[in-house]
Copies of this chain bind each other. A is one copy, B any other.
Amino acid sequence: MDLQLPDETDLLTEIAMAYYQNGATQEEISKRFAVSRIKVGRLLRKAREEGIVEITVKYHPVFSANLEQQLIDRFGIKRALIALDQPHEEEQRSLVAGLVSGYLSNALTDDTVVTVGQGRNISAVAEYMGVTAKRNCRFVCGIGGIHPRGGLTNADHICRQLVKKFGGSSETLYAPAFVNDPTIRASLMANPTITQTLDLARKADMALVGVGDMSSNSYMVDLGWFSAQEVSDARMHHGVIGDIAGYDFFDIHGNTSHNIMSDRIIGLNIEEFKQIPEVIAVASESSKSLSLLGALRTGVIDVLATSVSNAMAIINLDDLKQNKA
C-alpha cells in the first residue's frame, strides 16, 4: 500500500490543529502558513467536512453514563447507546444511527458476520455519513424483501450500503419476507439457496435490528402481510405492543409466545435472534418507549440504541410496573 499523504491533508491537519487545539486566530495562521486569511477559513471548513475536525455534542457525560448504567443493570444488556433528543424525527434517527455507526466501526472486525434487519432505523445506520476503515466482514439479510419496489429500507439494500461503508461482502436472502400460505413458506424454506443464507444469518456474531411499535407496522396491513383483524386481535387479546425486526412480536412483559404469523414469514424468529451473541436494537422514535420496554424484557437485546428521552421513559415505565407488582 501507498503511504504517501495526500499533500493537502497535511496542511489541513496542521491548520485545524493550530485553530482548534491551540486557539490561534485565522489571521495568525494565515501569516504562519503564508496563505490568505480567507483561505484559512476555507481550509478549516474543508477540514470539518472531511472529518479531520470532528465536533460532537454529547449529553453530559456523567449523566448519560448513569442512564446507560441503569439500563444495563435493569435489563442485563451489554451497552446502551443514547443519543441526544432532537425535535425532528429524521434528525433523531440520524443521531442515533451515528452512535450505532460509531459503535460498529469499533466492533466489526474481519470475519464478523452480521445479520441485518430492515426498516428506517437500520437504513439510517447504513446511510450515516462518516469515513471509517474498511474491513472484511459479512452482512447477511435476516429477512426477505418487504417493500416490493424501490425498497431502500429492505434488508438486502441495507446490507449493500453497509458493505460500502465498512467493507466486506453482503448476502441477500432471495425470498419475500412474507407469504400468504404456510405451504409456500415451507417450500421456500426448503430451497437450498435460502436455507444457506438463513443458516449463515442464524450463526451470525451480531444482529442489527429495529424495534417497532404497533402503529409503525400498519404498513404491514397495507402490504397485505396480515389483516386489520389480526392486528387488532394481537393488540387487544394478546397485549402485543411491539416487534423486533418487524415481525417478531412481544407484549409488555417481554412475552413472545403470541407470534401470530411466524408460519408465513421468511426470516429469523425471535428464538433464533436470542442465539445471536450480540443483538443490537435500534429505535429512535419517541413513540417507541413502551415497545422498547417490552423488547428489553424479551432478553433478546444486547445493545440498545435510542434517544435520551426514550431511555428515561423506559426506566420510569419499568419503575411503575415494578411498583405495581
Chain A residues in the interface with B (C-beta under 8 A): 1, 3, 5-6, 9, 12-13, 16-17, 20-21, 47, 50-66, 68-70, 84, 86, 106, 131-135, 312, 315-316
* Closest residue of B by beta carbon distance from A58: B52
Within the complex, the shortest CB–CB distance from A32 to chain B, in Å, comes to 12
Given contacts A3-B312, A316-B3, contact A57 B21 (CB under 8 A): yes
Can you identify 19 A-B contacts, CB atoms within 8 angstroms?
A: A1-B66, A3-B312, A9-B63, A13-B57, A13-B59, A17-B57, A20-B55, A20-B57, A51-B60, A52-B59, A52-B60, A52-B61, A53-B56, A61-B133, A62-B131, A64-B133, A65-B135, A66-B133, A106-B106
Contacts of A106 in B (CB 8 A): 106
Within the complex, the shortest CB–CB distance from A121 to chain B, in Å, comes to 19
Partner of A134, one of B13, B21, B62, B133: B62
Given contacts A55-B20, A61-B52, contact A13 B133 (CB under 8 A): no
How far apart sit A28 and B55, CA to CA, in the bound complex (Å)?
A: 20
How far apart sit A312 and B64, CA to CA, in the bound complex (Å)?
A: 37
Contacts of A21 in B (CB 8 A): 57
Within the complex, the shortest CB–CB distance from A84 to chain B, in Å, comes to 6
How far apart sit A56 and B13, CA to CA, in the bound complex (Å)?
A: 11
Contacts of A59 in B (CB 8 A): 9, 13, 52
Contacts of A13 in B (CB 8 A): 57, 59-60, 84
Contacts of A55 in B (CB 8 A): 20, 53-55
Given contacts A60-B12, A106-B106, contact A133 B54 (CB under 8 A): no
Report yes or no: A131 in contact with B65, Cβ–Cβ below 8 A: yes
How far apart sit A312 and B62, CA to CA, in the bound complex (Å)?
A: 36
Contacts of A12 in B (CB 8 A): 60
Contacts of A315 in B (CB 8 A): 3
How far apart sit A52 and B64, CA to CA, in the bound complex (Å)?
A: 10
Within the complex, the shortest CB–CB distance from A314 to chain B, in Å, comes to 11
Q: A51-B60, A54-B54, A64-B133 are in contact. List 4 more A-B contacts (CB 8 A).
A: A3-B316, A6-B63, A53-B58, A62-B133
How far apart sit A79 and B248, CA to CA, in the bound complex (Å)?
A: 36
Report yes or no: A51 in contact with B57, Cβ–Cβ below 8 A: no
Report yes or no: B1 in contact with A84, Cβ–Cβ below 8 A: no
* Closest residue of B by beta carbon distance from A133: B65
How far apart sit A21 and B70, CA to CA, in the bound complex (Å)?
A: 28
The 5 closest A-B pairs by CB, nearest first: A65-B133, A61-B131, A9-B60, A16-B57, A51-B61
